[in-house]
Chains A and B, each alone.
Chain A
Amino acid sequence: NAGVTQTPKFQVLKTGQSMTLQCAQDMNHEYMSWYRQDPGMGLRLIHYSVGAGITDQGEVPNGYNVSRSTTEDFPLRLLSAAPSQTSVYFCASSSYGRLPGYTFGSGTRLTVV
């Protein structure tokens, strides 16, 4: 059982470049979300989805887009990378019908230069 898989694990981007962070889960979880984690700021919610075709903004959505075409996949797109987006990004998933709590991926360390 793979759980939540994030790719890539590390990435360096130049300012202005775009890229997509991939997230896939094999647990048939309805809820998926993207967080960024920065020192002193904790985990901040970027976007989330409650099911295929449904997405919504979290507390720090600017500069990021998401889509949810399948239950399994929830990619995060950086439209035009900025140094302020240097962070560690985590994808997490959860199921409504079962126990509370999220399953997290192992993270993507992104540096924008």
Chain B
Amino acid sequence: QKEVEQDPGPLSVPEGAIVSLNCTYSNSAFQYFMWYRQYSRKGPELLMYTYSSGNKEDGRFTAQVDKSSKYISLFIRDSQPSDSATYLCAMEDAGNNRKLIWGLGTSLAVNP
């Protein structure tokens, strides 16, 4: 079993829909939880990060961490065609030299 599990999709939604992307993990030592967005033929870029449990909101994006269930989510409200990308979750054990454990990524297409 991988340390981080992420459904690769693909996920296809109409413009304006609410999108929910999820990852599960097994290592309770993870402290930082991140979401990266990767456009086609580009490098991943950090979208949001959360430390420990709780919610974090940034515009149309909300990141949630539930450490008791070992489950993280990224919600996208009012999705736009420009949100079409692959979304990768990543997690860091604060004591492990900045090494990240990655999900496989979920491919999202937002259709006009």
Contact = CB atoms under 8 A, between A and B. Distances in A.
Nearest to B41: A107
20 contacts: A40-B8, A41-B104, A42-B88, A42-B102, A42-B103, A42-B104, A43-B88, A48-B97, A50-B98, A90-B44, A94-B98, A99-B49, A100-B32, A100-B92, A101-B32, A101-B49, A102-B46, A102-B100, A104-B43, A107-B43
Contacts, number: 49
A101 B42 contact: no
Given A42-B103, A42-B104, A42-B105, A104 B44 contact: yes
Interface of A: 4, 31, 40-43, 45, 48, 50, 90, 92, 94, 96, 99-107
Contacts of B46: 101-103
Interface of B: 8, 32, 34, 36, 41-46, 49, 51, 88, 92, 97-100, 102-105
B97 A104 contact: no
A16 B32 CA distance: 41
Nearest to A90: B43
Given A31-B98, A100-B32, A40 B45 contact: no
B103 to A, nearest CB: 7
A106 B40 CA distance: 11
Nearest to A56: B97
B99 A107 contact: no
